[in-house]
């Protein structure tokens, strides 16, 4: 009895559900027109709506979970290329470090060599300064040269008294004439020249013997020139103090072939000193100063800055050394020695040849 009642109740409930579903289907499809409604069609329709509603959220869910796409082959190739390039650059950097260390060691060795050369050069400079200090009267012999040079320092007037200067120059000329003896000329020159050549050899590609020959010839000819000048009562001096000054054609040499011969400039370098004479060879007209040779200079066209530096390019004024050979001694000889200097002209030109080529 109880089961029967239950079965009937279940049947009634199923019928009510079916009718309810059919009613809802009819209501939702009312605008489409009437049509047959079945239970299976309603279920299929519900399944289709459910699938359509859940399709997009599913894709979004997968995206938020971070599911990566397969890598692009082109990107992988670019990465591998950059990695290879990095390793190559790192290798080059290691090689540069190694070369830098080796260069640093070589530089230290070069600095040591430069220090040694500087010491040799300093020693040679000391020897040359000794010769320069004893340049006057050196032809009279070592002892006489020192004695006369010391006496000359005492007798030479340091004032601008013209008469005192003339008396000193006449004394010097007379003493030089008395001491003129070729037999006593510089007996110790050979030893000093050899010492200087040993010190100067690092700066020259020539053999020491070749340097000795050239320097011996230069010293000998310079000594003869010193003898000729000191025998005169005129004051003959070299001058070259013009760096930073404006070019002056009155006492600076201009090359006839220079395209800038009519333009001004400032002196940057003295190529060759000038030579001036005060008075005559007999000690007269001491108030008159003549320029025997003009200074050869390197000038720069334009203005100078506040520190004396030129603001433009270099221009060389003056004759070349080749044109100037022999001019110094020829001009000097004509003033101080008259016609007798004609015998010394080959000496002067030879002197400059060895200065330039020795």
pLDDT per residue of the chain (358 residues) written in tens, 0 to 9 = 444 444 444 444 444 454 444 444 444 444 444 444 454 555 555 555 555 544 444 444 444 455 556 667 777 777 778 888 888 888 899 989 989 888 888 888 888 888 887 777 777 666 666 655 555 666 666 677 777 777 777 777 777 777 888 888 888 888 887 777 654 554 566 777 777 787 777 777 777 788 888 888 887 787 777 788 888 888 888 888 888 888 888 888 855 544 455 456 788 777 778 888 888 877 788 888 888 888 888 777 655 444 444 444 333 344 444 444 455 555 555 544 444 444 444 444 443 343 333 3
Buried b (16+ CB within 10 A) or exposed e, 56-74: eeeeeeeeeeeeeeeeeee
Cβ neighbour number for residue 274 with a 10 Å cutoff = 22
* Alpha carbons 329 and 319: distance in angstroms, whole number: 16
At 128 the pLDDT is 61
At 316 the pLDDT is 39
The CA–CA distances, whole Å, from 139 to 105, 259, 278, 320 equal 50, 44, 24, 31
Map tokens 């005060």 to a residue.
278
- The conformation of residue 259, written as its DSSP 8-state character, comes to T
**Cβ atoms of residues 277 and 234 within 8 Å:** yes
- Helical packing angle, 327-336 and 208-230, nearest 10°: 30
At 68 the pLDDT is 56
Buried b (16+ CB within 10 A) or exposed e, 118-135: eebeeebeebeeebeeeb
At 187 the pLDDT is 53
**Cβ atoms of residues 269 and 287 within 8 Å:** no
Cβ neighbour number for residue 219 with a 10 Å cutoff = 19
* Alpha carbons 304 and 307: distance in angstroms, whole number: 8
Cβ-Cβ contacts under 8 Å for 326 (sequence gap 6 or more): 345, 348, 349, 352
At 174 the pLDDT is 84
At 250 the pLDDT is 86
**Cβ atoms of residues 262 and 292 within 8 Å:** no
At 314 the pLDDT is 37
What is residue 101's three-state secondary structure?
Answer: helix
Q: Return the CA Rg of the chain.
A: 54
**Cβ atoms of residues 297 and 252 within 8 Å:** yes
Residues β-bridged to residue 278? 235, 289
């Amino acid at each position: 009895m109880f089961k029967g009642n239950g079965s009937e109740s279940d049947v009634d409930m199923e019928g009510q559900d079916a009718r309810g579903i059919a009613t809802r289907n009819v209501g939702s499809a009312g605008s489409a027109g009437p049509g047959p409604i079945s239970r299976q069609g309603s279920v299929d329709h519900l399944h289709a709506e459910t699938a359509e509603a859940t399709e997009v959220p599913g894709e979004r869910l997968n995206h938020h979970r971070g599911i990566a796409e397969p890598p692009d082959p082109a990107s992988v190739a670019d990465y591998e290329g950059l990695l290879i390039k990095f390793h190559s650059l790192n290798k080059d950097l290691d090689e540069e470090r190694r070369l830098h260390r080796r260069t640093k060691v070589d530089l230290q060795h070069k600095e040591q060599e430069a220090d040694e050369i500087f010491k040799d050069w300093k020693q040679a400079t000391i020897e040359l300064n000794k010769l320069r200090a004893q340049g006057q009267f050196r032809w009279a012999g070592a002892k006489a040269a020192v004695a006369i040079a010391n006496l000359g320092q005492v007798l030479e007037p340091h004032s601008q008294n013209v008469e005192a200067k003339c008396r000193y120059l006449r004394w010097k000329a007379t003493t030089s004439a008395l001491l003129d003896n070729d037999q006593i000329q510089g007996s110790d020159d050979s030893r000093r020249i050899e010492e200087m050549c040993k010190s100067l050899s690092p700066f020259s590609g020539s053999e020491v013997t070749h340097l000795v020959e050239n320097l011996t010839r230069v010293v000998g000819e310079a000594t003869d020139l010193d003898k000729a000048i000191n025998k005169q009562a005129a004051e003959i001096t070299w001058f070259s103090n013009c760096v930073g000054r404006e070019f002056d054609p009155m006492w600076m040499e201009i090359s006839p072939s220079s395209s800038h011969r009519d333009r001004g400039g400032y002196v940057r370098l003295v190529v060759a000193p000038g030579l001036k004479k005060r008075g005559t060879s007999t000690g007269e007209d001491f108030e008159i100063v003549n320029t025997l040779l003009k200074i050869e200079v390197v000038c720069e066209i334009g203005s100078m800055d506040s520190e004396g530096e030129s603001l433009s390019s270099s221009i060389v004024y003056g004759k070349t050394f080749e044109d100037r050979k022999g001019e110094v001694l020829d001009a000097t000889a004509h003033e101080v020695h008259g016609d007798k200097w004609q015998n010394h002209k080959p000496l002067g030109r030879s002197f400059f040849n060895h200065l330039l080529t020795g």
